[in-house]
């Protein structure tokens, strides 16, 4: 999987690249408008992370070029402007998703995974982790081919974990992913959810994949 | 007290005093002048009498009119000084005292001394003085009436530009963007005032814009370093072999960073609403929106064993910006969940003109009127930013909704009236 990170802030693009490399993505970085345009014209990527404010031009211009050339790359806009205009413009221009800075890397990773799944869903909508398989189109989970009943939030939680395998995910990132920005300061709630999901997975015959990392959060690993 | 009435009061009092003083002055001056005139007339009479005596060696017939009387009294050897005096004589006909000016002088007629008394009535003088007094009083009256009329019709018109300016200043609202339109005036003072007011309001608006822009830019610039810190911390937490102590430190920094970035986002949101950046509006179905958010938080509601009592009319639609509507409803519902007690209640009532959300909870410790202020938290809790309700209020203000909070029967109730 090839990913292009178009971001002028070097430290940030490095962090993103480091995190994503752990997910077996191949990452390239473009830090200026011209460089980004050059790379998008020459190569195809599974997903492009696009910052809107770039030295030399607007990220939206690059998006326009991509669509004009009928490129199929998935595009995830990452903007510090958090402006509704940018979001609406970006999405109408054909971006797949929008994430405003600052974001959790785990959230970014989950969004990228979702975009890539949607892009190559021809026979590839099934997500597997050991005996767990998740049908992301039908939103169904089965363990050893037996259906596992999960609530909507439990399903989202499992999908989030599988998109960030073997990573420490903070409680804040999980809470924000499940309930959005407005539920700040209620991370205790997620404990109940994790406990329920963990119990359901173990009852279905799985090993205990959800490890709690003291102080930080949780890790989904074998 | 109005400037006008104050001015008028001083004016009227001063005028009355001056008029009364001048009346007193007139009185004495004119009285003296008239008496001087009478004395002159009396001297003429005196000369006529002495001339007559010189010529005829005898006394003339004494005249005795109403306003001029003469009396010749033989006075032997008595020493008589020539002198003027004012006397009152009782008039039997009119039964009143009548003032006279009298000249007393001696004459010798054929070796006999006579005392001659010539009197002239002062009635005319007194009439004159009365007239002067009437005129003075009349003038005071005319003055008062004139001042009243000027005040009523002319001054109000004269002060109109001032009142207009005052009205405009009262209505001046920085965030409302209603610029001051001042009336032209021919009066120098008002022109100067208007000039000063427009310079001041322009400068204030400019400063306000600058501060707003600064806030917005600063907040945006802060987002990038925050994003870097957050991502580095997340990477750091992935490292193997971290000790528990180090993990705790990372988590603390991470949480503080999260709070900072949320705080920053809330401030940006407030600034944006201030800057009227959410212009697009559409019909938003509030009923659907509330149900959507309730189902989004259903696990949280269940975890706290909260009972929801819904009384939501279908298809309540408001014309507003979709993002702002989302934020408004999400803030109200999350507040009702967050500040609720275990096994509590949330009551939501929605009609075409009113949204009312009540929740159980511990009573407020702060003044309810301060609740909508920025950074107002009831209890010092680090988890809450204290910006949620001021965002709610800002959104309501933006659309002219009236928002109210009250606490009774253990229920915190926030209500929004859509139509005023």
B261-278 pLDDT, tens per residue?
A: 888 888 888 888 877 777
Residue B111, both tokens: 């070796």
Edge-to-edge strand list for the sheet holding A97-100: A26-30, A2-6, A47-51, A74-79, A97-100
What integer pLDDT is reported at residue B287 of this predicted model?
Answer: 94
Residues of A in contact with B254 (CB under 8 A): 170, 172, 216
Q: How confident is the model at residue B395 (pLDDT cuts 50, 70, 90)?
A: very high
Distance from CA of B385 to the nearest CA of A (A): 9
CATH of A126-220, one of 3.40.50.300, 1.10.10.10, 3.90.1170.50, 2.40.30.10: 1.10.10.10
CA distance A148 to A169: 24
- The domains of chain A are located at 2-119, 126-220
Inter-chain touch A9–B300, beta carbons under 8 Å: no
Distance from CA of B323 to the nearest CA of A (A): 8
Inter-chain touch B230–A103, beta carbons under 8 Å: yes
Nearest to A165 by CA among A209, A199, A122: A209
Instruction: Specify the pairing of strand A26-30 against strand A2-6.
Output: parallel
Average pLDDT estimate for A14-27: 91
Average pLDDT estimate for A195-218: 88
Inter-chain touch B238–A80, beta carbons under 8 Å: no
Candidate from B247, B265, B272 with C-beta closest to A215:
B247
Candidate from A19, A85, A183 with C-beta closest to B235:
A19
Rounded to two decimals, the pTM is 0.67
Pick from B4-8, B189-193, B203-207, B343-347: least confident: B4-8
| Predicted confidence (pLDDT) per residue in A42-90, tens digit | 999 999 999 988 889 889 999 999 999 888 889 999 987 666 667 778 8
CA distance B219 to B272: 11
Average pLDDT estimate for B181-189: 81
What integer pLDDT is reported at residue B28 of this predicted model?
Answer: 86
Q: How confident is the model at residue B379 (pLDDT cuts 50, 70, 90)?
A: low
Contacts of A175 (CB under 8 A, 6+ apart): A183, A184, A186, A187, A189, A190
For testing contact with chain A, the best of B251, B257, B320, B335 (most A CBs within 10 A): B251
Measured on CA atoms in the order B337, B341, B342, B346, is the torsion positive or negative? negative
Indicate the class that CATH gives domain B282-417: alpha beta
For testing contact with chain B, the best of A20, A53, A185 (most B CBs within 10 A): A185
Contacts of B212 (CB under 8 A, 6+ apart): B271, B274, B275
Contacts of A91 (CB under 8 A, 6+ apart): A98
CA distance B319 to B338: 28
Inter-chain touch A182–B247, beta carbons under 8 Å: no
Percent of chain A beyond pLDDT 90? Answer: 45
Residue B389 has pLDDT above 90, yes or no: no
Residue A124 has pLDDT above 70, yes or no: no
Residue B378 has pLDDT above 70, yes or no: no
Q: How confident is the model at residue B359 (pLDDT cuts 50, 70, 90)?
A: very high
| Token pair 């309700």 in the structure block, residue | B389
Q: How confident is the model at residue A19 (pLDDT cuts 50, 70, 90)?
A: very high
> Counting beta carbons within 10 angstroms of the beta carbon of residue B120, is it exposed (0 to 12), middle (13 to 18) or buried (19 or more)?
buried
Q: How confident is the model at residue B161 (pLDDT cuts 50, 70, 90)?
A: confident
Q: How confident is the model at residue A182 (pLDDT cuts 50, 70, 90)?
A: low
Percent of chain B beyond pLDDT 90? Answer: 17
CA distance B77 to A181: 131
Are B311 and B355 contacting, i.e. CB atoms less than 8 angstroms apart? no
Q: Tell me the pLDDT of chain B averaged across its residues.
A: 85
Instruction: Specify the pairing of strand A146-148 against strand B411-417.
Output: unpaired
Residue A123 has pLDDT above 60, yes or no: no
Q: What residues of chain B, 235 to 294, have a C-beta less than 8 Å from chain A? A: 235, 237-238, 244, 247-248, 250-251, 254-255, 257-259, 261-262, 265, 268, 272, 277-278
Residues of B in contact with A179 (CB under 8 A): 296-297, 300
CB pairs under 8 A between A and B: 122
Does A102 sit behind a cis peptide bond, omega within 30 degrees of 0 on the bond before it? Answer: yes
Which regions of chain B carry the CATH code 3.30.565.10?
282-417
**Residue bearing the bigger pLDDT, B158 or B83:** B83
Residue A179 has pLDDT above 90, yes or no: no
What integer pLDDT is reported at residue B377 of this predicted model?
Answer: 64
Edge-to-edge strand list for the sheet holding A210-213: A168-170, A217-220, A210-213
Contacts of B28 (CB under 8 A, 6+ apart): none
Average pLDDT estimate for B51-80: 84
| Predicted confidence (pLDDT) per residue in A130-154, tens digit | 889 998 888 899 998 899 999 888 9
Distance from CA of B213 to the nearest CA of A (A): 14
Please report the ipTM that was assigned to this predicted complex. Answer: 0.85
Nearest to B186 by CA among B155, B161, B168, B164: B161
Residues of A in contact with B323 (CB under 8 A): 84
Residues of B in contact with A182 (CB under 8 A): 330-331, 334, 388
Residue B379, both tokens: 């209890």
DSSP three-state, residue B33: helix
CA distance B314 to A144: 44
What integer pLDDT is reported at residue B126 of this predicted model?
Answer: 79
Average pLDDT estimate for B354-372: 83
What integer pLDDT is reported at residue A145 of this predicted model?
Answer: 87
Residue B211, both tokens: 């501060």
**CATH number of the structural domain B160-277:** 1.10.287
Distance from CA of B171 to the nearest CA of A (A): 31
Residue B174, both tokens: 């920085």
Inter-chain touch A185–B383, beta carbons under 8 Å: yes
Inter-chain touch A104–B300, beta carbons under 8 Å: no
Pick from A208-212, B172-176, B239-243, B290-294: least confident: B172-176
Are B328 and B395 contacting, i.e. CB atoms less than 8 angstroms apart? yes
Name residue A26's beta-bridge partners.
A2
What integer pLDDT is reported at residue B382 of this predicted model?
Answer: 47
Average pLDDT estimate for B143-147: 84
**Residue bearing the bigger pLDDT, B243 or B184:** B243
Residue B385 has pLDDT above 70, yes or no: no
Residue B113, both tokens: 């001394």
CATH superfamily membership of A2-119: Response regulator (3.40.50.2300)
Residue A33 has pLDDT above 90, yes or no: yes
What integer pLDDT is reported at residue B11 of this predicted model?
Answer: 81
| Predicted confidence (pLDDT) per residue in B243-256, tens digit | 888 888 998 898 88
| Predicted confidence (pLDDT) per residue in B210-234, tens digit | 887 787 788 778 888 999 999 999 9
For testing contact with chain A, the best of B216, B221, B234 (most A CBs within 10 A): B234
Which regions of chain B carry the CATH code 1.10.287?
160-277
Candidate from A82, A215, A217 with C-beta closest to B265:
A82
Residue B164 has pLDDT above 90, yes or no: no
């Amino acid at each position: 999987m090839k990913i292009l990170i178009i971001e002028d802030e070097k430290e940030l693009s490095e962090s993103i690249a480091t995190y994503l490399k752990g997910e077996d993505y191949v990452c390239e970085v473009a830090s200026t408008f011209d460089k980004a345009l050059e790379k998008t014209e020459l190569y195809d990527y599974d997903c492009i992370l696009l910052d809107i404010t770039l030295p030399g031009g607007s990220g939206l211009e690059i998006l326009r070029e991509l669509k004009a050339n009928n490129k199929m790359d998935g595009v995830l806009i990452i903007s510090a402007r958090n402006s509704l205009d940018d979001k609406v413009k970006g999405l109408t221009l054909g971006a797949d998703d929008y994430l405003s800075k600052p974001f959790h890397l785990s959230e970014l990773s989950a969004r990228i995974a979702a975009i890539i799944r949607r892009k190559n869903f021809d026979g590839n909508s099934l997500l597997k982790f050991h005996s767990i398989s998740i049908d992301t189109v039908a939103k169904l989970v089965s363990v050893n081919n037996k259906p596992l009943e999960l609530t909507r939030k439990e399903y989202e939680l499992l999908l989030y974990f599988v998109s960030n395998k073997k990573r420490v995910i903070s409680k804040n990132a999980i809470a924000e992913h499940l309930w959005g920005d407005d539920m700040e300061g209620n991370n205790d709630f997620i404990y109940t959810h994790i406990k329920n999901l963990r119990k359901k997975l173990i009852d279905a015959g799985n090993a205990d994949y959800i490890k709690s990392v003291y102080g930080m959060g949780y890790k989904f690993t074998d | 007290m109005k400037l006008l009435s104050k001015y008028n009061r001083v004016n009227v009092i001063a005028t009355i005093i001056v008029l009364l003083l001048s009346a007193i002055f007139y009185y004495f001056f004119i009285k003296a002048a008239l008496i001087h005139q009478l004395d002159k007339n009396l001297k003429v009479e005196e000369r006529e009498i002495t001339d007559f005596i010189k010529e005829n060696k005898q006394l003339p017939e004494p005249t005795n009119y109403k306003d001029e009387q003469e009396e010749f009294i033989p006075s032997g050897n008595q020493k008589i000084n020539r002198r003027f005096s004012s006397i009152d004589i009782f008039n039997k006909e009119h039964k009143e005292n009548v003032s006279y000016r009298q000249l007393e002088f001696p004459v010798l007629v054929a070796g006999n001394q006579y005392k001659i008394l010539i009197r002239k009535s002062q009635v005319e003088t007194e009439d004159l003085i009365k007239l002067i007094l009437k005129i003075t009083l009349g003038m005071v009256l005319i003055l008062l009436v004139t001042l009243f009329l000027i005040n009523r019709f002319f001054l109000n018109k004269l002060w109109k530009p001032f009142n207009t300016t005052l009205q405009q200043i009262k209505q001046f609202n920085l965030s409302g963007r209603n610029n001051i339109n001042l009336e032209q005036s021919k009066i120098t003072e008002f022109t100067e005032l208007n000039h000063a007011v427009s310079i001041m309001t322009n400068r204030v608006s400019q400063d306000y814009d600058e501060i707003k822009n600064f806030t917005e830019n600063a907040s945006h610039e802060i987002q990038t370093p925050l994003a870097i810190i957050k991502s580095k911390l997340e990477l750091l937490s992935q490292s193997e072999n971290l000790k528990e102590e180090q993990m705790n430190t990372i988590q603390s920094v991470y949480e503080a960073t999260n709070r900072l970035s949320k705080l920053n986002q809330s401030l940006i949101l407030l600034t944006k609403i201030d800057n009227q950046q959410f212009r697009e509006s559409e019909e938003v179905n509030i009923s659907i929106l509330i149900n959507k958010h309730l189902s989004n938080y259903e696990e949280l509601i269940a975890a706290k064993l909260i009972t929801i009592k819904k009384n939501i009319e279908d298809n309540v639609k408001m014309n507003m910006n979709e993002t702002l509507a989302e934020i408004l409803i999400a803030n109200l519902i999350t507040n009702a969940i967050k500040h609720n007690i275990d096994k509590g209640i949330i009551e939501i009532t929605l009609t075409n003109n009113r949204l009312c959300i009540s929740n159980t909870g511990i009573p407020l410790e702060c003044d309810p009127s301060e609740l909508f202020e920025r950074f107002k938290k009831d209890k010092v809790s680090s988890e809450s930013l204290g910006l949620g309700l001021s965002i709610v209020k800002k959104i309501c203000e933006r659309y002219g909704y009236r928002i109210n909070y009250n606490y009774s029967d253990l229920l915190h109730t926030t209500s929004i009236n859509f139509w005023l």
